[in-house]
Amino acid sequence: MDFSFSEEQKLFREQVIRFAKKEIVPRVREHDLAGKFDFESFRKLGNFGILGLHFPEDFGGSEADVVTSVVAGEALGEAGVDGGLTLAYGAHTFLCADTIFTHGSKALREKYVPRLASGEWIGCMGLTEPGAGSDVASMTTRAVKENGRYVLDGSKMFITNGPIADVAVVYAKTDKNLKHAGISAFVVEKDTPGFSAGKPLQKMGVRSSHTSELIFENCQIPEENLIGREGAGFLMAMQTVEWDRSALMAPFIGGMTYGLNKCIRYAGERIQFGRPIGSFQAIKHKLADIKIFIEAARTLVYRVAWCKDQGRPLNHLEAAVAKLFVGDWSLKPANDAVIIHGGYGYCHEYDVERNFRDSRLAPIGGGTSEIAKKIISKLM
Amino acid sequence: MNFDIDDSIKILCDKIRSLYQEPSDTAGVRFHPSEALETRNGLLKNLKSLSGLGYFDMGIEDGRNSIALARARETMACLSPSLFLSVEMSTRIFGALIALYGSSEQKEEILPALKGGTLIGAVGLTETGMSLENMAMETTGRAMEESITLSGEKPYVLNGPVADLIAVAGKYEAENPGVGFFLVDRASAGLLIGPRISTVGFEGTALSSITLNDCQLSPKSLMGPFEGNEVFTKLRNWEDQVLTTAALGLMRRSYESALKYAREHESGGKPIIAYQEIAFKLAEMLTLLQTSQLLAYRAAWMDETGDREADVLARCAKVFCSESAQDVTNQAMQILGIHGYCSHNRVEEAYRDVRYLQVSGTSSEISRMKIADWIMH
């Protein structure tokens, strides 16, 4: 066992923090409060190379390993980038671009991955439906092959980047009589007739990411847009879940460090009863709890990333353990950070309430805590 | 980065396990002798076999934690918590104290016997009303012409009733005064070992008070005097490492027992693990176990590599692992139901033992304050 980062990774972490603090963080609060996606920041992420980090250079990436991608995600959070932008990045890079890259044909990869890696196009992924959440196999969106084309009908729900995406990876049933084995994945472009996105949903947190329904009505796409083979969609979705539970979790942990740093500063400056509140044991207790959570959680997330780098397929147990812990155990420290700031913490200006709202997604998105427990109890 | 456990560590842990072939699935390795002589002989026998495995090759000479040591300790604590605590206190902690702070003569005399498993050690540190922060120790050794006279009381000494040698912390009054340790042989006149104290858990670990009434010691028995608190901080850190890994061991035995029970015990025509109320509890328990393991191993790794954050990580690990262990043993008891509630099973034993972990060493309260002080400095 060895928990060290390479010098390169350490340096990269510092670079990402510096970049994000300068270029992105000053814009974050405005977009969070307005519930507005920040196209400029997203492009900057692309220019900096984060959106395509782990893709080969031929595809506009840097060929980074998964651990380095997690380092980047954690660093963005630590710098103060909101959960909305990092979620948009995660959905774009891991759930959309990576699926096309890993499973798509040469033509699909060459057409879409470089554009997504640079941030020229924005990607999203449609799996969940209004009536099919945790029970993925009960999806009703259909893809029927007719005259060399697939015709999609149905709808997808809670799709991150849905309203702004140029390209979507969409899961649909090619055989309605089969459960998981009847699911296939497709690439659908924005302007395809019959494809539309609903209005952005008003959300509690991750507000700078846009989320909506995707609607397919007699939506015809070329048969070449099938990713991989028919019936292989569920496996692909499960593979993206490892990203969901490592690289996508990393910004949460970085965000908790950002919140802790805010708390440390505030607790040192805020004077009550003639002394800084950071000298009271009740406040120290909370600060310690936040630190303990961060240290406990981050190792779990890096373990998933490392397993993925070793090419170990489907590390479901490790991934579910990380997801469950980050999801269920992050709520108290996120709450503590608000409480330490008192009335100020309840106001937008101090960012800790944003962290609190954003962290509420952790036990829901990318597989709920209950699903994580189901997976763990099956595999143990 | 590497999350795989090295083969050499696995081999050592397998050897430890093979030493303690469990007599039955539920009994575990019970080490609960009630008589001092029986406890002493049992402990010596185990020290000898562990010595043969190389269990004492780590953490004594350099006083450093390591992933290998943490994993070996976890394995041992899982098999027999009381034996684990006695062994660590006797050999590793007492041993590291001698190795790092003893005179060369003391080292030569004590360490080979200790590592060979033929000598039992103990450390007397805590006093009533004393905290490590202010070090108000009453126990005092006075330098006389050709001896040291030691007086004082240590109310809680692990291995007190069975130890050959006790390192007693105290003030040293002499021309160059300070604090130090006095090595007291169990046969010393003026040493009174109190009756064994009955405890909630770790019943196999003998605990007693010791009283020193003008105990006459050779000047060679002095370790120190030391300036400052370093030696005491080290001692507490070693103790915390033992308690952190004890937490891992107790969690592992509770989780494993509960999982086995949930698969075998039926209700409503199916094993109870088929119910989410049970299966999801087990999932939470495994999550806490794995999270604790990784945190404790990383803290150990930081100590091994001299990381800047090693101290604060060790405290995070102590709090998180000991509190998670309380949670996991409690859940395991719930899953075992009345079977768990009846005495003499692995879970019931762990449920009681676990209570020691948060109160002993650096308590959860003091640990949190130290973590906060560290991050705010």
> Could you say which residues from 46 to 85 on chain A have a Cβ atom under 8 Å away from some Cβ of chain B?
67
Query: CB-CB: which of B286, B290, B301 is closest to A1?
Result: B301
pLDDT, position A244: 79
Number of H helices, E strands in chain B: 13, 10
CB B46 within 8 A of CB B81: no
Query: CB-CB: which of B283, B292, B297 is closest to A1?
Result: B297
- Nearest chain B CA: its distance from A186 CA (Å): 34
Binary contact (B286, A380; C-beta < 8 A): yes
The label of the residue with tokens 């064994």 reads B196
pLDDT tens sequence across B68-104? 999 999 999 999 999 999 999 999 999 999 999 999 9
pLDDT tens sequence across B181-213? 999 999 999 999 999 999 999 989 999 999 999
What is the rounded average pLDDT of the residues B206-224?
Answer: 96
Residue of B nearest to A5 (CA): B1
Q: Three-class SS of residue B100?
A: helix
Binary contact (B319, A67; C-beta < 8 A): no
CA distance A120 to B261: 56
Binary contact (B283, A296; C-beta < 8 A): no
Binary contact (B371, A1; C-beta < 8 A): no
Residues of chain A with confidence (pLDDT) below 50? none
Q: Where is B169: in which H helix or E strand?
A: strand B165-173
CA distance A165 to A123: 5
Q: Does A288 touch chain B (CB under 8 A)?
A: yes
User: Confidence class of residue B20 from pLDDT cuts 50, 70 and 90?
Assistant: confident
Identify the CATH class of A124-229. Answer: mainly beta
User: Confidence class of residue B325 from pLDDT cuts 50, 70 and 90?
Assistant: very high
Domain ranges of chain A: 7-122, 124-229, 245-379
> Could you say which residues from 5 to 34 on chain B have a Cβ atom under 8 Å away from some Cβ of chain A?
5-6
pLDDT, position B11: 95
CB A228 within 8 A of CB A104: yes
Query: CB-CB: which of B295, B302, B368 is closest to A296?
Result: B295
- Nearest chain B CA: its distance from A378 CA (Å): 8
| Neighboring chain A residues of B292 at a CB cutoff of 8 Å | 296
Q: Does A295 touch chain B (CB under 8 A)?
A: yes
Residue of B nearest to A282 (CA): B369
Facing residues of A187 across strands? A169
Q: Does A204 touch chain B (CB under 8 A)?
A: no
| Neighboring chain A residues of B6 at a CB cutoff of 8 Å | 1
Binary contact (B375, A264; C-beta < 8 A): yes
Q: Does B273 touch chain A (CB under 8 A)?
A: yes
Q: Where is A75: in which H helix or E strand?
A: helix A66-79
Closest CA to B77 of B68, B86, B67, B66: B86
Q: Where is A30: in which H helix or E strand?
A: helix A25-34
pLDDT surpasses 80 at B258: yes
User: In B63-139, which ranges are E strands?
Assistant: 121-124
Residue of A nearest to B284 (CA): A373
CA distance A355 to B341: 42
Tokens at residue B29, please?
A: 């390795």
pLDDT, position B129: 67
Query: Which amino acid belongs to residue B75?
Result: T
Q: Does B67 touch chain A (CB under 8 A)?
A: yes
Binary contact (B279, A295; C-beta < 8 A): no
- Mutation site for A-interface testing, chosen from B5, B74, B371, B373 by largest number of A Cβ within 10 Å: B371
pLDDT, position A125: 97
Inter-CA distances, A364 with A205, A270, A369, B47, Å: 12, 35, 7, 50
- Mutation site for B-interface testing, chosen from A292, A298, A309, A312 by largest number of B Cβ within 10 Å: A292
User: Confidence class of residue B25 from pLDDT cuts 50, 70 and 90?
Assistant: very low
3-state secondary structure A350-364: HCHHHHHHHHCCCCC
- Quickly count: other Cβ atoms within 10 Å of residue A197's Cβ: 22
pLDDT surpasses 60 at B24: no
Facing residues of B169 across strands? B181
| Neighboring chain B residues of A325 at a CB cutoff of 8 Å | 287, 291
**Domains of chain B in sequence order:** 7-115 (1.10.540.10), 121-226 (2.40.110.10), 230-376 (1.20.140.10)
User: Confidence class of residue B22 from pLDDT cuts 50, 70 and 90?
Assistant: low
pLDDT, position B23: 47
CATH of domain A7-122: 1.10.540.10
Cα-Cα end-to-end distance for chain A: 22
CA distance B202 to B31: 9
CATH of domain A245-379: 1.20.140.10
pLDDT, position B27: 38
pLDDT, position A58: 95
Binary contact (A264, B3; C-beta < 8 A): no
pLDDT tens sequence across B275-302? 999 999 999 999 999 999 999 999 999 9
Query: Which amino acid belongs to residue B77?
Result: A
Arithmetic mean of pLDDT over chain B: 93
Q: Does A296 touch chain B (CB under 8 A)?
A: yes
- Nearest chain B CA: its distance from A201 CA (Å): 32
CA distance A288 to A277: 14
CA distance A38 to A85: 8
| Neighboring chain B residues of A260 at a CB cutoff of 8 Å | 375
pLDDT tens sequence across B152-164? 999 999 999 999 9
| Neighboring chain A residues of B282 at a CB cutoff of 8 Å | 376-377, 380
Binary contact (A278, B376; C-beta < 8 A): yes
pLDDT, position B130: 66
Q: Does B313 touch chain A (CB under 8 A)?
A: yes
Closest CA to A74 of A98, A50, A95: A50
CA distance B245 to B318: 9
- Nearest chain B CA: its distance from A377 CA (Å): 5
- Nearest chain A CA: its distance from B372 CA (Å): 5
Query: Which amino acid belongs to residue A263?
Result: C
pLDDT surpasses 90 at B136: no
User: Confidence class of residue B131 from pLDDT cuts 50, 70 and 90?
Assistant: low
Q: Does B133 touch chain A (CB under 8 A)?
A: no
CB A169 within 8 A of CB A140: no
Q: Residues 6 or more apart from B354 whose CB is under 8 A from it? A: B201, B247, B250, B322, B325, B326, B329
CB B123 within 8 A of CB B76: no
> Could you say which residues from 345 to 374 on chain A have a Cβ atom under 8 Å away from some Cβ of chain B?
370, 372-374
pLDDT, position B26: 38
Query: CB-CB: which of A3, A5, A284 is closest to B372?
Result: A284
- Quickly count: other Cβ atoms within 10 Å of residue A131's Cβ: 12
Q: Residues 6 or more apart from B356 whose CB is under 8 A from it? A: B199, B200, B201, B202, B243
Query: Which amino acid belongs to residue A326?
Result: V
Facing residues of B183 across strands? B167
